[in-house]
A = this chain, B = another copy of it.
Amino acid sequence: MTFLSFCFLKNDSVSVQVEQADAGLPPTERSSSLPVFSHDEVTKHRSLEDGVWVTYKGGVYDVTEFVPMHPGGNKILLAAGGALEPFWALYAVHDQEYVLEILSKYKVGELSAEDLKKQGEAKESDPYSSDPERHPVLRINSKKPFNAEPPPEILTESYITPHVLFFKRNHLPVPQVDPASYRLQVEGLPRGALTLSLKDLKTRFPKHTVTATLQCAGNRRSDMNQVKEVKGLNWGISAIGNAKWSGARLRDVLLAAGFGPDVAKWARHVHFEGLDKDVTGSAYGTSIPINKAMNEDGDVLLAYEMNGEDIPADHGFPVRVVVPGVVGARNVKWLGRIVVSAEESSSHWQQHDYKVFSPGTDWSKVDHTSSPAIQELPVQSAITVPADGAQIDHSDETLTVKGYAWSGGGREVVRVDVSLDGGKTWQVAQLRSGDKGQPDEPSPPPGRSWAWKLWELTAPLPPDADELEIICKAVDNGYNVQPDTIPPIWNLRGLLNNAWHRVKVKVT
């Protein structure tokens, strides 16, 4: 296990279940012959010059030498001179045995019994304790921060995904926001900042409703991980959902804030900051290109409703950005701040995450400036029914295959091909833009197809087959197609797996 293994404290590379048993250092080490230090002594060591000391469960550690190797970079200095516990509570990836092993190497002493007692009395608060309740049907990829997806076979039962079943992808604890005191700051425009209350957003701007599919860049990562290990949450095929979002158009808000021809000359990006903050007080942040924000056909919303109700806490209450056709990561939840800028966001999530590299690029040679931040997503589809490994009754005359298909950038999925024989022959699935038996939603204009299509194929069960390899692949109206296999699109973060989806079923 190398230090790179926990390289992503702030992002979605938490590839393990982070809630584990309360692992501590072996009690025997408590009675070591190491010197005893007071809390005051520890606090003097807060820089590389003075040494970087931290405490953990009564031990004192000089981690100065570890600082340059800390995958989270200089953020480790925030804990210098004090206890690690509150930071590790936020970045739960640290709660693993090998992390404690690394730490143990740097032990230099014991905290005085008196100061240890004081630390114990300081109320240990779990920053995730206010997170909302979630439905137990969700498959959890990480508890803290909470990341979970619905079972695939449920996902495609409804064209509009109920919020309870909509995948949750949180980078930090869910912030508690009082809607009455909520204020959105709009900055970077010549007139000065504009401050909007939730009521302002609802009353000063026309309400627009857009049906849009959101997908996490890590959707289907688990299959890519099987080709060769990647770093990231081990998402299945359900880190995607389709909802009706309602709110003010970002375009309208920016125009009200003073966006005009003069601003258009220099403005290139719009930054979004969430109210979800890490222990250093820095918020989740990212940006989108200005033309997506200002284009009348871009349909970017500052949404305050999801499926006709207040946006639930896990999805950004009271206001989130919805950037249709664009990777989930730009659809900032718990929106606190908007900044119009000539530059792209300098945030970690814009510059050092959510980028894709060549399959030949490994961590030793990755150059994050060589690849653009993901915005529009490529064409995607997956099979939700039957499940991989399912058993099909040999006496069935027909087999029904179901799934979803979607493409980024407002490109409409125009065809889904399904193979029951591992790709030798293909049949065209039925597409729909509504619930089964219900009329389809009206077709949006070209370039504004933000919602997925559900698809279904019922075909004769191939005779005499013991096993079927079922494959789906979608085509969008830019006639982009999915690649045949995963290895050529493999990338170290396991992002944007849109290779053909394959499931194998037994015929018994």
Contact = CB atoms under 8 A, between A and B. Distances in A.
B426 A360 contact: yes
B447 A481 contact: no
Nearest to A485: B484
A417 B360 contact: yes
Interface stretch (A123-131, A247-255, A367-375): A367-375
Interface string A422-433: 010111100000
A343 B294 CA distance: 28
Interface string A202-233: 00000000000000000000000000000000
Number of copies: 2
Nearest to A288: B446
Interface in A394-442: 408-409, 411, 414-415, 417, 423, 425-428
A292 interface: yes
A374 B358 CA distance: 29
A374 B496 contact: no
Question: Which one of A360, A414, A479, A488 has the greatest number of beta carbons of chain B within 10 Å?
Answer: A479
Contact of A409 (B473, B478, B498): B478
* A358, A482, A498: most-surrounded residue (chain B CB, <10 A): A358
Interface stretch (A98-106, A181-189, A376-384): A376-384
A223 to B, nearest CB: 16
B408 A376 contact: no
A297 interface: yes
Contact of A426 (B484, B488, B498): B488
Nearest to A269: B446
Contact of A378 (B289, B370, B480): B480
A418 to B, nearest CB: 10
A473 to B, nearest CB: 7
A417 B483 CA distance: 14
A365 to B, nearest CB: 10
A488 B483 CA distance: 10
A266 B478 CA distance: 24
Contacts of A428: 358, 360-361, 370
A376 B477 contact: yes
B414 A371 contact: yes
A112 interface: no
A359 interface: yes
Contacts of A378: 478-481
A417 B120 CA distance: 55
A372 B477 contact: yes
A475 B371 CA distance: 11
Contact of A372 (B292, B414, B447, B473): B414
Given A376-B479, A408-B478, A445 B360 contact: no
A488 B379 CA distance: 15
Contact of A481 (B268, B374, B375, B483): B483
Contacts of A425: 360
A477 B379 contact: no
A295 interface: yes
A376 to B, nearest CB: 4
B475 A291 contact: no
Nearest to A424: B487
A496 B479 contact: yes
A502 to B, nearest CB: 13
Contacts of A377: 478-479
Contacts of A489: 481
Given A291-B297, A378-B480, A446-B375, A475 B356 contact: yes
Contacts of A480: 378-379, 478, 480
Nearest to A489: B481
B291 A359 contact: no
Nearest to A445: B291
A26 to B, nearest CB: 45
A89 to B, nearest CB: 35
B427 A371 contact: no
Contact of A292 (B268, B426, B446): B446
7 contacts: A292-B447, A295-B295, A376-B478, A409-B478, A426-B488, A479-B496, A481-B483
- Which are the 3 A-B pairs with shortest beta-carbon distances? A484-B484, A376-B478, A289-B446
Given A371-B415, A378-B479, A481-B488, 19 more contacts: A289-B446, A291-B445, A291-B447, A292-B447, A295-B295, A295-B297, A358-B428, A360-B425, A360-B427, A371-B414, A372-B414, A372-B477, A374-B479, A378-B481, A408-B478, A409-B411, A478-B480, A479-B496, A480-B480
